[in-house]
Amino acid sequence: MSNSPIADGLKGRCPDCGSGSLFSGFLKYAPSCAACGKDFQSEDAGDGPAVFVIFIAGFFIVPLALVFQLALDAPVWLTMIIWGPIILISSILMLRPLRGIMLTLQLSRDAGEAQFEDEDEL
């Protein structure tokens, strides 16, 4: 528990032991920590981070694509062919650490509220 939840999330590491991975696939959460067995399944950040990331990517990258198109007087189809994948890939790359942070923040918040767990179960 020495690291902050954000540092653990960025690295995709279990916030409890710091060695197990939060993910079982590239973006899929693992059901539990492979190293210490901490349960991750009670948490699901859903599609919130995806929307957030696409918004960030669009905000920063679309202006670059516009500058590219105007500076080179490039046709729209060329701009889309080049920048479409860049936007997509950068979004996916940002999504993983963001999903990690979402999960570790939720896990750390729940750890602080563990004494009220019984009231929330049903």
**Is 11 an interacting residue with respect to Zn ion (CB under 5 A)?**
no
**Is 111 one of the binding residues for Zn ion (CB under 5 A)?**
no
Does 36 help bind Zn ion (rule: CB under 5 A)?
A: yes
Among 5, 9, 12, 20, binds Zn ion (CB under 5 A): 20
Inter-residue contact 17 to 1 (CB < 8 Å): no
Long-range contacts of 16-19 (CB under 8 A, 24+ apart): 16/107
- Considering the complex, what minimum distance in angstroms separates the CB of residue 82 from Zn ion? 41
Q: Which residues does 65 contact at the CB level (< 8 Å), separation at least 6? A: 79, 82, 83, 86, 87
Closest to Zn ion by CB, 33 or 98: 33
- What's the min distance (Å) between Cβ of 30 and Zn ion? 10
- Cβ closer to Zn ion: 3 or 90? 3
Rounded distance, CA 16 to CA 108, Å? 9
